[in-house]
Structure 1
């Protein structure tokens, strides 16, 4: 057994502290959970068991981290859409695989190493350093025992030693670093000349009849009428039934009262909330705002957009402890920090919305319409079985139209149909799936209505006759002719510049004295810069990009500077990134290898039981 010693291994220290933070700070509420199964393991990796409680704790901690990062609460179902649960399981499986390998080769650490780590943990410290009573109390609060925690800590240190042995010592190859630096730090001086219709020597001529017919014949696929389905349908819609239904005034008043918050709104504010990990970070941010730093800067430094922290319009009671301060602002401003469920936060008030009241009499007509529409949906639902029985008995869509409030119509259906009935996705799906000779079936529409249809015939897709398509053909011909003329002019200018002419002789030029590969040219597509970096010094080229045709010239190629503090710093950064990438790749490959060798057996029922306990 290899005894670990205290060392200045930064990688090991980071791994250990991350584990200890997860164990000490993120364990609350899961230590005594009973998931109702015969086993408490979500998986086994080799000889290692992945405990359900450990999975629950890690998953809950990840949810809390995500909420703090974004300032929004997340349910497990929402997080699963991003694959968060799978990421957590993969991390646990990887740790188990590394632990299995460590035990296989007899790698462990002694009691002194564990004791040193415990003494260095702030959560376990009293006024005079490590405090045994504090240590035991913290563990007890999180459903842990000293022996269990120390075993986990011992194993984590052993895993960090194993990972360090695999991923340590990588050095970035100097030729690779130099090549990457040369590529990233290279610069270009550029000139760009857009070529518009106004820059053409002569205007694009009007097309002749022969021009249009030739263009139509060559591009007939652009002027096609889609396949059309001739459909007869019967429909029972809420909008047809509702006007005939009585309105109960007492029910309207009850409806008004049930939605009183919608009609009688107190004064509200437009608010954004930026959550921080602790009080110190939040106060430091507020101090920066007071000193002149913009709120937008704080948000961008967190990797967030303003939309991520927007609370919308909120009432005073919605803001908890921040309510008084936010509502005391008479103009936009930032207040805080204040405690929230997600942690300490700063609040920015962006606008004041005055109190608003809509009386019952003012709302009555809208409420009556809603009341009748709701009653109509219920009435239609009550009739569904009877209509189903009619169709099952051989009734046609015409027969259905004899029933009260059922209407009969025909439609030439295609993808471009704008008939109201085609606005229902359920109707469109049925219309596209129908075949001639099918018996009609009842279709449940999204607003509570019902319909049934019959496909009478199909008109295949075909070219629109020239006379009907003339306007579209003329427009397409002109766009094509203008594009051709602009590209031809751009090529003429590029050739002239290549022969020595000045680009500025042909129009207003945009000059960029220096641009990097990730830079841009004002009022031009971003893709032009990439094109420029594929061109030689002094070259001029006609370029077509989205919504842009023109000439691009490389005025100068500036190789990456080899001297200066900035150059040295960038080289060091690139070397560090390369070394980190190599180390990470080595660690991932090693972890995957030992996991494959150990084998992973997953207990899905226990995983599902854990998920059921997390909101």
Structure 2
């Protein structure tokens, strides 16, 4: 009975149940609460023990610490409200246990044994339950078989109760069909674009008064964000690499080490299909020449893919002498065969001929020299590290650091949008965000082997620059706004002509959009275009949609209902049915759980809860 009932629960319900089992079982072996009182609360006659609460909290802290790769303090867990969520979960579990007990729901030893036998941790290498492994694992976790088996019995009983409440829910099909019809509907429309060239009167240059008025009306557009004014000293390899002496012998040695990159023989991009005999290769070639098949089809007939037969770039030395003589002697044929190969006679397809190439040392010299200079500069910077560290440790300022070393001094009003110069380095960006005005400069690394140190001078609040400093920026913004308004006004005038009998095609060049879905994005049109098209009620309806540099007049041509048996529609309908069933089940089970808790009565002991909390550092 237990097994057949449990099979009726859908996947989502199984996951809900597994969440309850996780709270119950995952805590074994992680310690226990050592305070005096043992009960943080109860639902009816089912206790929520301090050990249960402690283990669940500790398990969650460990899980979050693993996810975030840092030690998550308990104070942060409380700030996120996770402690309340865990207590609520334990309360819901206790309410189910209380109701299952009141209804006399339980399972026998055989079902408990069957459930335990499915736990992988208790199985041997053959995948079978092993009693010795079972007892050893529980002993290591500080639990006894009796405790674990009783917990399992209660979990299965709760699962049966949950299945009885939410199993077999079947939503009315009209719900899913209505939503699917809405989602699968498509629309066809025609649009006319109105740009600056379509204006009857060009946009004039703004006057000083218009700029001042625009500046006053939209100060938020020109206000600079809060910035962190930072002084920094830095040194990077590219700043000193020109001074690095390059040894000629080292250049030659590097060139010789990479000779395969600079001197490459003639190569072929090859695919190879192996046959049992030369006769089979000849037959395949004959069939291809008669246009009865092709190479791709021959590959597919073997249940192979083109990736399976692809050899990549092949030089003559990569082949046997016999194969190389056939393949590299022919520069015109695409198919060659039969060609001997280690696997047997083969048909080769030549996809490209790559001619031999050679880059002389003299041509490669500059690149090799730059690489060696970069490496030498990094070594020099690394040698400077200890001396710079000592200067900072002795209290030297960044200005003194710049005067006494090769490091360069700079200042920057840093914002998240900063990306020029040193702000292009992630390490600097991270340091710029975290540095405090009380911090002493410390030496940090850059990704290219450079070094830097920085100091926060002040936090600059959001600031609106004077108009005369940003007049060009304000003028550009004014022009953009004027263009948007002007093309929208012109488009509205054209819409009025439609009302007087003109057609959209009469007004200019149009474009058609077909079978557009609600979720589609049209990259060349305003973001609201699709939504506004689906708000039109009937064919022939028109809407004007303004954009940044163009306005769009859109006419709805056709409303296409979703095809009931189309593959996409069937998928949407299936998803909708599942989603509705799951939503109903969650709502019903939540209401049921709240009713159980209300009827059974919930008690909590805040003193014990506080004591459990106090046991965490």
Matched, 1:608 2:607: no
Contact in 2 for aligned 1:124/1:134 (Cα 8 Å): yes
Contact in 2 for aligned 1:12/1:160 (Cα 8 Å): no
Q: How does 1:516-527 map to 2 (within 5 A)?
A: 516-527=517-528
Distance in 1 of aligned mates of 2:153 and 2:102: 15
Aligned residue in 1 for 2:152 = 153
Count of aligned residue pairs for this structure pair? 419
Matched, 1:164 2:197: no
Q: How does 1:326-341 map to 2 (within 5 A)?
A: none
Aligned residue in 1 for 2:258 = none
Aligned residue in 2 for 1:491 = 492
Instruction: Identify which range, 44-53 or 90-99, moves more after superposition.
Output: 44-53
Contact in 1 for aligned 2:484/2:547 (Cα 8 Å): no
Contact in 1 for aligned 2:231/2:456 (Cα 8 Å): no
Aligned residue in 2 for 1:599 = 602
Distance in 1 of aligned mates of 2:170 and 2:138: 41
1:587–1:549 Cα change, 3 Å? same
SS of aligned partner of 1:533: helix
Please report the TM-score for the alignment, with normalisation by the length of structure 1.
Answer: 0.54
Aligned residue in 1 for 2:418 = none
Matched, 1:9 2:6: yes
* Offset of residue 585 of structure 1: 0.9
Of the candidates 558, 561, 571, which is equivalent to residue 560 of structure 2? 558
Structure with greater Cα Rg: 2
Instruction: Identify which range, 550-559 or 490-499, moves more after superposition.
Output: 490-499
1:528–1:195 Cα change, 3 Å? same
Distance in 1 of aligned mates of 2:587 and 2:197: 55
* Offset of residue 595 of structure 1: 3.1
Aligned residue in 2 for 1:445 = 437
* Offset of residue 451 of structure 1: 13
Distance in 2 of aligned mates of 1:194 and 1:610: 68
* Offset of residue 582 of structure 1: 0.1
1:103–1:20 Cα change, 3 Å? closer
Aligned residue in 1 for 2:395 = 376
Q: Which runs of 5+ in 1 are unaligned?
A: 228-236, 243-287, 293-351, 379-443, 454-460
1:108–1:556 Cα change, 3 Å? same
Distance in 1 of aligned mates of 2:372 and 2:49: 51
Q: How does 1:451-470 map to 2 (within 5 A)?
A: none
1:501–1:595 Cα change, 3 Å? same
1:85–1:189 Cα change, 3 Å? farther
SS of aligned partner of 2:395: helix
Q: How does 1:111-510 map to 2 (within 5 A)?
A: 111-125=109-123, 129-207=128-206, 212=209, 220-222=216-218, 362=381, 371-376=390-395, 445-447=437-439, 478-496=479-497, 499-503=501-505, 506-507=508-509, 509=511
Aligned residue in 2 for 1:73 = 69
Distance in 2 of aligned mates of 1:151 and 1:580: 30
Aligned residue in 1 for 2:574 = 572
Distance in 2 of aligned mates of 1:90 and 1:540: 53
* Offset of residue 187 of structure 1: 1.0
Distance in 2 of aligned mates of 1:21 and 1:100: 16
Q: Which runs of 5+ in 2 are unaligned?
A: 224-228, 234-304, 310-370, 398-435, 442-454
Aligned residue in 2 for 1:414 = none
Distance in 2 of aligned mates of 1:525 and 1:63: 46
* Offset of residue 197 of structure 1: 2.3
Cα RMSD after superposing both structures: 5.3
Distance in 2 of aligned mates of 1:553 and 1:64: 58
* Offset of residue 183 of structure 1: 0.9
